[in-house]
Amino acid sequence: MATREAYGLALRDLGEEGEFVVLDADLSHSTMTGLFAERFPRRFVNVGISEQNLLAVAAGLAYSGKVVFASTFAVFATKAWDLLRIIAHDGLDVRVAVSHGGLSNGPDGWSHQSVEDVAVMRAIPNFRVVVPADAAETRGAVRAALAPGGPGTSG
């Protein structure tokens, strides 16, 4: 199973256990957040093709007390560098979950490939980076991200 499919299934399954919100930047078929959206349409928001907007909405929801997963392709998330820094600096309850890292998105060409995403995000103080190797690790990472003090949490 692809890690992105495991991500979507984990969100869907954990949606029964917690009140978190999932955002996507018009890639829910690719990031597999559509699986969550089908079951929890009132807790899913497609912000359109705008990663800056994705992370701004995620930050706003977190400021209002929501727990948020913001999902997109790795190469697009890093373009919203200033918002990533704000999320990390302010310790917001946002998990930035990216797929299609490295050269894994080869057929879509260089504009969708990211070989620097991990390096860019690791350079942000207070920003935790988790790179699961397979579906089992992905499911575990999503669960850990929701645990108090887990990756992406302020506690």
- In angstroms, the CA 103 to CA 126 distance is 27
In terms of residue numbers, what domain contains 11? 3-146
Q: Is pLDDT above 80 for 74?
A: yes
Confirm whether 130 is domain-assigned. yes
Confirm whether 133 is domain-assigned. yes
Confirm whether 139 is domain-assigned. yes
Count: domains in the chain:
1
Whether 38 is catalytic is no
Could you tell me the pLDDT band of residue 80, with boundaries at 50, 70 and 90? confident
Confirm whether 135 is domain-assigned. yes
Q: Is pLDDT above 70 for 85?
A: yes
Confirm whether 155 is domain-assigned. no
Q: What was the pLDDT predicted at 151?
A: 45
Confirm whether 154 is domain-assigned. no
Closest CA relative to residue 135, chosen from 41, 43, 3? 3
- In angstroms, the CA 67 to CA 133 distance is 25
What's the mean pLDDT in 73-84?
A: 88
From the list 19, 51, 116, 137, the catalytic residue is 51
- Which CATH number covers residue 75? 3.40.50.970
Confirm whether 21 is domain-assigned. yes
Confirm whether 151 is domain-assigned. no
What's the mean pLDDT in 69-74?
A: 92
* Secondary structure string (H, E, C) spanning 13-81: HHCCCCCEEEEECCCHHHHCCHHHHHHCHHHEEECCCCHHHHHHHHHHHHHCCCEEEEEEEHHHHHHHH
Average pLDDT score, the chain: 87
Q: Are 47 and 23 in contact (CB under 8 A)?
A: yes
